[in-house]
């Protein structure tokens, strides 16, 4: 295990090992209480820890939050309703929630160098919905009200309201396409974002797999969107946000960056300058639970002109804030401000590189030919498999991944031709480049020993002994890098 694992005694990022005995006692007591009411829930909770400890987790969007973050969520802060914002609540008695929310927002502003932070969104999708609403409110509703000489939509005549509603519903959004690595909420037509806006997508260069900024600029000039969305779920490369902002400025668009996947690399100062979205975007959204290693949740950072509208997220878009989760966000953000988190983030990037190199030297195909973030997108067509078959065979061998479309995927979004891999979770366990190289070797072992069955895109067979061999090798790697060392239930 490496020295910067958050659960080692030497770590200052997430001091799990320092307080492992106390955390063990807390969890044992908590589970005993749960057991006395619904034993099946206590059993499933214990089993989840055992399963997480026993699997080689390569899901790019998952991580392991520290016991401090997890414990923070199990309190009576959960019981308080606190619609509104700090100091302006629709309920009485929110002084402690105000304290919690202020601390979380302060950590977020300081960590990311942003003038404003809103920590209430319950998830990444919720953060994006609030951001879209805030952009529409700032760019369309406010000038519409001013034109009509009104302060509030309730003051508008029916005719003026109808005019404004038509305007709000007729704006344009340009985002990264799903098969190039964008997220559903970046304008995918079946998603609410593709229905709120007239949408158009940009993809990646068919030859290199990289974003073609010239093509993005041409699409923006032609389409003239109100919003350009940058950010991704499955793109294994860095993005130049300064260039994206230039494109947005040229066409008068608001640049929104969804850094849900790579927020940990921004927080850890791996992505700086043009690769740090926060100074370039008007609005930046994120999840807090992926590479950032916090509780499940969302977060919005924005320039001052969007702050009022963003702060109206609850109750205009969101339900009441989850105060216990905001508290856990504060703890996670405090951890991310420690120097050990920067070392962690750098290792996430180095380990992804080692994983990619491990595949390339064994002649596997990677989308874009490699990685320079935390994601590796493996093209499994050269193994004669679909993503679905590869994902299932890997799971049989104890390797947890998810299938993912690749650009212009011949197998579509359900069966796919890719496997998306990420380094954040195993890096938290203490894996280094040697272990990630070994992971690539084990995965190649599985994939070369998997054959499709007939013409099915789902059925497959694994050569005898493969699952046992790889499971045993994975167990060795996991035993050497335990999850939550010292934590005993
Ligand atoms: N944005 C991006 C880029 C994502 O990858 C994801 C989740 O995978 C989300 C938003 C949605 O996050 P959540 O599941 O917390 O709503």
Q: Indicate the pLDDT class of residue 17, thresholds 50, 70 and 90.
A: confident
Rounded Cα distance between 187 and 133, Å, is 14
How remote is the C-alpha of 226 from its chain's centroid?
24
- What does the domain layout of the chain look like in residue ranges? 78-336, 339-480
The pLDDT score that the predictor gives to residue 226 is: 98
Does residue 2 have a pLDDT over 80? no
Residue 443's pLDDT is what?
A: 98
Check: CB of residue 278 under 8 Å from CB of residue 243.
no
Q: Greatest CA span in the chain, whole angstroms?
A: 76
Task: Report the alpha-carbon distance of residue 143 to residue 162 in Å, rounded.
Answer: 15
On the question of pLDDT at 9 being above 80, the answer is no
Atom of ligand 1 nearest to the CA of 123: 15
The residue annotated as part of the active site, out of 18, 35, 62, 83, is 83
78-336 and 339-480 share one fold: no
Residue 286 and residue 131 in contact, taking contact as beta carbons nearer than 8 Å: no
Confidence bin at 12 (pLDDT 50/70/90): very low
Four-CA torsion 402, 369, 443, 238, nearest 10 degrees: -50
Nearest Cα residue to atom 13 of ligand 1: 124
Tokens found for residue 128: 């994006």
Q: How far apart are CA 339 and CA 323, in angstroms?
A: 27
Q: Considering the domain delimited by 339-480, tell me its CATH architecture.
A: Alpha-Beta Complex (3.90)
What topology does CATH give the domain 78-336? 3.40.640
Q: Are 49 and 5 in contact (CB under 8 A)?
A: no
**Ligand 1 pocket, 258 CB below 6 A?**
yes
Q: Is the predicted pLDDT of residue 372 greater than 60, yes or no?
A: yes
SS3 state at 301: strand
Q: For 385, list phi and psi in degrees, rounded to 5.
A: -120, 160
Residue 302 Cα to ligand 1 midpoint, Å, equals: 18
The DSSP call for residue 140 is I
pLDDT of residue 15: 46
Question: Closest Cα to residue 424, out of 59, 67, 66?
Answer: 59
- Identify the DSSP state of 253: P
Tell me what the pLDDT averaged over the chain comes to. 95
Give the sign of the dihedral formed by CA 87, CA 331, CA 325, CA 191.
Answer: positive
Chain centroid offset of residue 355 CA: 20
Q: What is the pLDDT of residues 76-87, one digit of tens each?
A: 999 999 999 999
Binding positions: 178, 182-184
State the pLDDT at residue 18: 82
List, as residue ranges, the binding site for (6S)-5,6,7,8-tetrahydrofolate. Answer: 178, 182-184
Out of 85, 254, 287, 368, the active site residue is: 287
Q: Residue 31's pLDDT is what?
A: 97
**pLDDT tens digit sequence for 143-188:** 999 999 999 999 999 999 999 999 999 999 999 999 899 999 999 9
- The mean pLDDT of 406-434, rounded to a whole number, is 95
What pLDDT digit, counting tens, does each position of 106-122 carry? 999 999 999 999 999 99
Rounded Cα distance, 426 and 385, in Å:
26
pTM of the predicted model as reported, rounded to 2 decimal places? 0.95
Percent over 70 (pLDDT), the chain: 97
81 is catalytic: yes
260 lines ligand 1 (CB under 6 A): yes
Q: Within 10 Å of residue 253's Cβ, how many Cβ atoms?
A: 25
Distances (CA, A) of 69 to 105, 334, 356, 474: 16, 10, 31, 27
Over residues 457-468, the mean pLDDT reads 97
The per-residue pLDDT for range 229-278, each reduced to its tens digit, is 999 999 999 999 999 999 999 999 999 999 999 999 999 999 999 999 99
Does the active-site annotation cover 258?
yes
Structure confidence at residue 13 (pLDDT) = 41
415 is catalytic: no
245, 413, 416, 445, 454 from 410: Cα distances, Å = 33, 9, 7, 24, 18
pLDDT at 7: 42
The yes-or-no answer on residue 296 being catalytic is yes
Query: Do residues 217 and 240 lie in contact, with contact meaning Cβ atoms separated by under 8 Å?
Result: no
Give ∠ CA 320-323-325 in degrees, rounded to 5.
110
């Amino acid at each position: 295990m490496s020295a910067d694992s958050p659960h080692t005694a030497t770590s200052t990022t997430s001091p799990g090992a320092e307080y492992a005995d106390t955390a063990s006692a807390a969890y044992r007591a908590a589970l005993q209480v749960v057991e006395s009411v619904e034993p099946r829930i206590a059993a499933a909770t214990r089993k989840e820890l055992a399963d997480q400890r026993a699997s080689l987790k390569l899901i790019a969007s998952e991580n392991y939050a520290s016991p401090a973050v997890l414990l923070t969520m199990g309190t009576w802060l959960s019981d308080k309703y606190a619609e509104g914002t700090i100091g302006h609540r629709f309920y009485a008695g929110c002084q402690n929630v105000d304290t919690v929310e202020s601390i979380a927002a302060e950590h977020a502003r300081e960590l990311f160098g942003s003038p404003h932070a809103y920590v209430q969104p319950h998830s990444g999708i919720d953060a994006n919905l609030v951001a879209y609403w805030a952009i529409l409110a700032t760019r369309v509703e406010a000038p519409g009200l001013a034109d009509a000489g009104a302060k509030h939509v309730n003051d508008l005549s029916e005719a003026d309201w109808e005019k404004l509603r038509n305007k709000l519903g007729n704006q344009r959004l340009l985002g990264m396409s799903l098969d190039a690595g964008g997220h559903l909420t970046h304008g995918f037509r079946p998603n609410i974002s593709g229905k709120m806006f007239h949408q158009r997508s940009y993809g990646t260069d068919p030859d290199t797999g990289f974003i073609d900024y010239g093509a993005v600029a041409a699409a923006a000039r032609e389409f003239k969107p109100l919003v350009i969305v940058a950010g991704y779920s499955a793109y294994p490369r860095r993005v130049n946000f300064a260039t994206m902002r230039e494109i947005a400025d040229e066409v008068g668009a608001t640049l929104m960056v969804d850094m849900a996947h790579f927020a940990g690399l921004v927080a850890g100062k791996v992505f700086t300058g043009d690769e740090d979205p926060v100074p370039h975007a008007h609005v930046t959204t994120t999840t807090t639970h992926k590479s950032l290693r916090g509780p499940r949740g969302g977060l919005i950072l924005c320039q001052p002109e969007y702050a009022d509208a963003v702060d109206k997220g609850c109750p205009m878009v969101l339900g009441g804030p989850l105060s216990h989760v905001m508290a856990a966000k504060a703890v996670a953000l405090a951890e991310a401000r420690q120097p050990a988190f920067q070392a962690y983030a750098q290792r996430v990037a180095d380990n992804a590189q080692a994983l990619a190199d491990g595949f390339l030297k064994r002649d596997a195909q990677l989308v874009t030919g490699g990685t320079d973030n935390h994601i590796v997108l493996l093209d499994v067509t050269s193994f004669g498999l679909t993503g679905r078959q590869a994902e299932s065979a890997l799971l049989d061998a104890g390797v947890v991944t998810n299938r993912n479309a690749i650009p212009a995927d011949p197998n579509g979004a359900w069966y796919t031709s890719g496997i998306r891999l990420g380094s954040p979770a195993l890096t938290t366990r203490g894996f280094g480049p040697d272990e990630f190289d070994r992971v690539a070797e084990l995965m190649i072992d599985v994939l070369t020993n998997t054959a499709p069955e007939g013409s099915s895109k789902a059925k497959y067979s694994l050569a005898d002994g493969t699952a046992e061999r790889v499971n045993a090798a994975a167990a060795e790697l996991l035993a050497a890098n335990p999850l939550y060392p010292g934590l005993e239930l």
